C-alpha cells in the first residue's frame, strides 16, 4: 500500500569518532622466573596466568596496586587502574603509557590472486563504500518513516476484506480496521495517511454529489482518526471517481468538475484533513480549491497537487480496490500522455502559481525523469506515488522467484509492502 517521500538529498556533514581507552599500569614485577613485566605490559597469554605488579612512586606518593588477570579471551579489556588523570599523564610522559590492542590484520586475498602494483589513483570512490557504517554516513538520499504517507482503503463494513489484485492489502472497516492499521503504522514511525473510499453503488451519481457529504465515509473516518490521534497527518484524495456512477474523475466538463471538487475539498477540510490532494488533473483546480479553502477559513490546510499524473495501466489494481473503473471511454483527455516530458513543466508552473504546497508525480518508478525535472526546477517538495500496479508487480515477481523481495539492496523491496515511494 503506497507511500510518498520528498526526494531532496540529505548529505552527511559530520563524522562521529568513537574511541575506547584501556589502562595498563607499567610496573616492575617482584619475581616471575625470567619474565620482565616492563617488557610485557598488556600481555595476554593463552594460559591463565596471575601476577601482581606494584607501582613505583612518582612525586614520593605511593602508587595503587593493580591486579592484572590475563585471559584466554583476546577481547577482554583490563580493569581500570584507578589512577588519576595526572598520574596517567605522568606515566605517558615517562614513556610507560598503556598499550592498545594490535591493529586488526588485513583480509587475506584469495589463493591465486595475482600480485600487481597498485594503480596510481588519486581518488578511489570505493573507499567510501568499504563498510556498512561508511555507506550509511555518505548516503545521499535518506528515506525515513516520517517521509512516507500510508494509503489506506476504507469501506463501510465491519470486517476487513482482502483486495485480490494487491496481495497483503485490504479494504479496512472504517470504525475498527482503519484505527488498528493506523496504530501499527505509528508504531513504526509512519504518522501520515491518505484515505481512499470504496463507496456503495447506491450512493454514486453522474455528478458525484456524495463526494461533499459532510457525513460521508471519508469525513467520518477523518473525524474518528483525529479524535483518536490528534497529531496524525491526514491527506485526502480530491476527485470524483469513487463517487461517480461513470467511474471518471469528474463530470467530463472541466470547469463544472472544478466546482464540485472545491465543495469536496472544503468538506474534507471541515472534517479535519491536513492536506487535500486533487488527483483529477482538471485545469485550474488548484487555484480554485485554494480560493475556496481560504474563503471558508481553512488557510492552514495544504494542497498536494497531482501535478504530473500520466495515463497508465498501472492503476488497474487501485480501481479494483475502489470499484472505480470507467464505465465508458478512458481518462486520456485529462491524464497526461506518457510520451510528453516537457508538458510536466507546464503543469508544475501552473500548480505552483495557483498555490500548490506539494507537487506529486504519478506513477513514480516509470517517471523518475519527471521527478528529477521537477526537483531541479521547483523549490516545492516533490512527491512520487508508487502506485498499485507497481506494488502488485513487485509482489508477483517475488511469488514467481524472479526477484528477491527481502533483500532490498536498491530500496525497491523495502517499500513494496507499503506502497508509495
Assigned C-alpha cell, 292? 475556496
Q: What is the mean pLDDT of residues 172-199?
A: 96
Query: Confidence class of residue 107 from pLDDT cuts 50, 70 and 90?
Result: confident
List where CATH 3.20.20.70 sits in the chain.
Answer: 145-416
CB 161 within 8 Å of CB 171: yes
Placement of cell 556498512 in the chain: 132
Q: Which of 198, 204, 309, 395 is catalytic?
A: 309
Q: What is the pLDDT of residue 205?
A: 95
Cα gap 134→123, rounded to integer Å: 16
CA-based Rg of the chain, rounded to a whole angstrom? 32
CATH of 145-416, one of 1.10.40.50, 3.20.20.70, 1.10.3470.10, 3.40.50.300: 3.20.20.70
Give tens-digit pLDDT for 259-294: 999 999 999 999 999 999 999 999 999 999 999 999
309 assigned to active site: yes
**pTM value?**
0.73
Lowest-confidence pick of 21-25, 49-53, 157-161: 21-25
Q: Which of 198, 331, 362, 395 is catalytic?
A: 362
| pLDDT surpasses 60 at 70 | no
59 assigned to active site: no
Cα gap 143→421, rounded to integer Å: 9
Amino acid at each position: 500500500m503506497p507511500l510518498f517521500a520528498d526526494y531532496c538529498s540529505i548529505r552527511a556533514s559530520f563524522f562521529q569518532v568513537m574511541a575506547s581507552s584501556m589502562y595498563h599500569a607499567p610496573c616492575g614485577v617482584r619475581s616471575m622466573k625470567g619474565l620482565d613485566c616492563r617488557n610485557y605490559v598488556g600481555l595476554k597469554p593463552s594460559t591463565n596466568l596471575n601476577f601482581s605488579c606494584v607501582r613505583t612512586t612518582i612525586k614520593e606518593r605511593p602508587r595503587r596496586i593493580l591486579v592484572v588477570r590475563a585471559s584466554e579471551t583476546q577481547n577482554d579489556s583490563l580493569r581500570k587502574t584507578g589512577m588519576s588523570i595526572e598520574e596517567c599523564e605522568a606515566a605517558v610522559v615517562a614513556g610507560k603509557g598503556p598499550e592498545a590492542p594490535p591493529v586488526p590484520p588485513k583480509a587475506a586475498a584469495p589463493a591465486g590472486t595475482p600480485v600487481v602494483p597498485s594503480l596510481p589513483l588519486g581518488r578511489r570512490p570505493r573507499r567510501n563504500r568499504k563498510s556498512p557504517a561508511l555507506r550509511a554516513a555518505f548516503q545521499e538520499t535518506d528515506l525515513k518513516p516520517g517521509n512516507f504517507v500510508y494509503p489506506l482503503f476504507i469501506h463501510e463494513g465491519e470486517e476487513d476484506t482482502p483486495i485480490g489484485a494487491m496481495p497483503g492489502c485490504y479494504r479496512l472497516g472504517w470504525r475498527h480496521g482503519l484505527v488498528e492499521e493506523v496504530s501499527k503504522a505509528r508504531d513504526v514511525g509512519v504518522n501520515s495517511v491518505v484515505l481512499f473510499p470504496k463507496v456503495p453503488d447506491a450512493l454514486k451519481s453522474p455528478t458525484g454529489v456524495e463526494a461533499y457529504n459532510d457525513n460521508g465515509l471519508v469525513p467520518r473516518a477523518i473525524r474518528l482518526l483525529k479524535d483518536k490521534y490528534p497529531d496524525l497527518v491526514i491527506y485526502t484524495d480530491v476527485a470524483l471517481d469513487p463517487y461517480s456512477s461513470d467511474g471518471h474523475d469528474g463530470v467530463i466538463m472541466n470547469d463544472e468538475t472544478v466546482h464540485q471538487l472545491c465543495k469536496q475539498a472544503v468538506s474534507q477540510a471541515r472534517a479535519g484533513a491536513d492536506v487535500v490532494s486533487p488527483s483529477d488533473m482538471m485545469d485550474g483546480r488548484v487555484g480554485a480549491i485554494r480560493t475556496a479553502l481560504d474563503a471558508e477559513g481553512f488557510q492552514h490546510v495544504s494542497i498536494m497537487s497531482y501535478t504530473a499524473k500520466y495515463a497508465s495501466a498501472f492503476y488497474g489494481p487501485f480501481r479494483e480496490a475502489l470499484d472505480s473503473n470507467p464505465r465508458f471511454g478512458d481518462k486520456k483527455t485529462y491524464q497526461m500522455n506518457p510520451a510528453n516530458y516537457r508538458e510536466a513543466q507546464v503543469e508544475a508552473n501552473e500548480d505552483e502559481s495557483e498555490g500548490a504546497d506539494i507537487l506529486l508525480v504519478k506513477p513514480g518508478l516509470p517517471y523518475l525523469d519527471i521527478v528529477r525535472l521537477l526537483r531541479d526546477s521547483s523549490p516545492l517538495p516533490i512527491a512520487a506515488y508508487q502506485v498499485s500496479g507497481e506494488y502488485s508487480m513487485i509482489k508477483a515477481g517475488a511469488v514467481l522467484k524472479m526477484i528477491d523481495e527481502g533483500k532490498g539492496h536498491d530500496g525497491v523491496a523495502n517499500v513494496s509492502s507499503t506502497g508509495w515511494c
